[in-house]
A and B are shown apart, each in its own frame.
Chain A
Amino acid sequence: MNEFLGLPEIASAHGASLDNVNSYVHWLMFVLFVLWSALFVYMLFRFSRKRNPKADYRGVKSHASNYAEAGVLIAEVILLVGFSIPLYSDRVDDLPAEEEATLARVVAQQFAWNVHYPGPDGVFGRTDPALVDETANPIGLDREDPMAKDDVTTINQLYLPVNKPALIYLTSKDVIHSFMLPEMRVKQDAIPGMLFPVWFEPTVTTAEMQARKGDASFGYQIACAQLCGNSHYSMRGFMTIQTQEEFDAWMAERQQELAADEDVDDIWG
């Protein structure tokens, strides 16, 4: 029943409830607009100078409009108390426990999304702005920190398992960006100096969505929704939703790579 809004395909557990409110409001708006317009157009004909050469000093005598206004108020209260406030609180207060979620940190920058997984130990390694190297280490991860040894970082690639809550700590390294996943109905500003948790539960894998759309080239994208400079328009990341097995396999592969890198370091260092 929400199709008339033309929203993007939905792929998260909470998305439908947001869409529902969205469509309820739009129904309310639609009904109001149609009723008011009908009355309006009727009056334009009925009370034109031609049809009604002599105006009536008093005009409307009924109090129907008071009821209409009260009706608008009640509808708004219902939307507010019944839907919007609890749903938003669900978004920002009822975060999943870190152990039960796929954990990641996303650091936005001009013009890329840096993704940082804590690795098997579940703890993020230390980062420091002084260590930032735009090509080798854009988030300034301190590999000396024992907690950082198994940390996985990517640029513009977010991998997540399906049907498991993802908990993402969002921040930015330079200016304000906004982390937007249209299909997940997720949007949150990434503000430098602040770290916000964002969570959602993907329910449709990339492969399933490709099948559903009949488009083998489809991929979820991370969009930037806040003006952040010249290339704001193309600040695009990619998100791949996989089955848990695929995700685990991907993560294991990354760990092997890390181990290999470290061996190299040992030989040469």
Chain B
Amino acid sequence: MSDAHAHAHEIDVDHHVRIYMRVFAALAVLTVITVAVAYLHLTTAAAVALALFIATIKGSLVACYFMHLISEKKLIYVVMVVTVLFFFFELLIPTISESINIHAR
């Protein structure tokens, strides 16, 4: 039974490896782009937005393909969705403390 299991995987593996190589290339190119963009002298807001945008793409590539998130089981999705939600609650912290600063002089 587990032989069949392993066998099923073996068929995928070559296909997977090809994808890994493509992701590798994409990551390298995106890294170069990130650095290049930094020399464009954009406004801070634009630079932050762009840097985070590219980083998010790269991060998603790693998560989806290297970490196989793209074909993961539902349970893992549930855990990660909850986590990401709380992660955004965490990022509320600076906003709240900004609301404090409105009154500070």
**Taking the complex as a whole, does A directly touch B, i.e. does some CB pair lie under 8 Å apart?**
yes
The prevalent SS among residues of B at the interface is: loop
For the complex, is A83 an interface residue (Cβ under 8 Å from B)?
Answer: no
**Nearest-Cβ distance from residue B105 to partner chain A, whole angstroms:** 5
Measured between beta carbons, the chain A residues less than 8 angstroms from B41 are none
Measured between beta carbons, the chain B residues less than 8 angstroms from A194 are 100-101, 104
For the complex, is B103 an interface residue (Cβ under 8 Å from A)?
Answer: yes
For the complex, is A195 an interface residue (Cβ under 8 Å from B)?
Answer: yes
Q: A125 to B51, alpha carbons, bound, how many Å?
A: 44
Interface residues in A61-80 (C-beta closer than 8 Å to B): none
For the complex, is A197 an interface residue (Cβ under 8 Å from B)?
Answer: yes
Q: Which residue of B lies closest to A194 (CB)?
A: B104
Q: Which residue of A lies closest to B105 (CB)?
A: A195
Whether the pair B103, A169 counts as a contact (CB closer than 8 A) is: no
Whether the pair A92, B105 counts as a contact (CB closer than 8 A) is: no
Q: A169 to B105, alpha carbons, bound, how many Å?
A: 9
Q: A169 to B101, alpha carbons, bound, how many Å?
A: 14
Q: Which residue of B lies closest to A92 (CB)?
A: B103
**Nearest-Cβ distance from residue B97 to partner chain A, whole angstroms:** 10
- Could you give, for residues 7-42 of chain B, a 1 whenever the CB lies within 8 Å of some chain A CB and a 0 otherwise? 000000000000000000000000000000000000
Q: A73 to B101, alpha carbons, bound, how many Å?
A: 33
For the complex, is A196 an interface residue (Cβ under 8 Å from B)?
Answer: yes
Q: A189 to B81, alpha carbons, bound, how many Å?
A: 37
- Could you give, for residues 28-65 of chain A, a 1 whenever the CB lies within 8 Å of some chain B CB and a 0 otherwise? 00000000000000000000000000000000000000
- Could you give, for residues 125-142 of chain A, a 1 whenever the CB lies within 8 Å of some chain B CB and a 0 otherwise? 000000000000000000
- Could you give, for residues 203-223 of chain A, a 1 whenever the CB lies within 8 Å of some chain B CB and a 0 otherwise? 000000000000000000000
Q: Which residue of B lies closest to A196 (CB)?
A: B103
Q: A196 to B99, alpha carbons, bound, how many Å?
A: 12
**Nearest-Cβ distance from residue A173 to partner chain B, whole angstroms:** 15
Q: A173 to B72, alpha carbons, bound, how many Å?
A: 54
Interface residues in B42-101 (C-beta closer than 8 Å to A): 100-101
Measured between beta carbons, the chain A residues less than 8 angstroms from B100 are 194
**Nearest-Cβ distance from residue B23 to partner chain A, whole angstroms:** 46
**Nearest-Cβ distance from residue A177 to partner chain B, whole angstroms:** 16
Measured between beta carbons, the chain A residues less than 8 angstroms from B105 are 169, 195, 197
Q: A196 to B105, alpha carbons, bound, how many Å?
A: 7
Q: A196 to B104, alpha carbons, bound, how many Å?
A: 5
**Nearest-Cβ distance from residue A94 to partner chain B, whole angstroms:** 12
Q: A120 to B103, alpha carbons, bound, how many Å?
A: 25
Measured between beta carbons, the chain B residues less than 8 angstroms from A169 are 105
Interface residues in A13-35 (C-beta closer than 8 Å to B): none
Measured between beta carbons, the chain B residues less than 8 angstroms from A197 are 103, 105
Measured between beta carbons, the chain B residues less than 8 angstroms from A196 are 103-104
A-B contact pairs, 11 of them (CB 8 A): A92-B103, A169-B105, A194-B100, A194-B101, A194-B104, A195-B104, A195-B105, A196-B103, A196-B104, A197-B103, A197-B105
Q: Which 9 A-B pairs have the closest CB atoms?
A: A194-B104, A195-B105, A195-B104, A196-B103, A197-B103, A92-B103, A196-B104, A169-B105, A194-B100
Q: A194-B101, A196-B103 are in contact. List 9 more A-B contacts (CB 8 A).
A: A92-B103, A169-B105, A194-B100, A194-B104, A195-B104, A195-B105, A196-B104, A197-B103, A197-B105
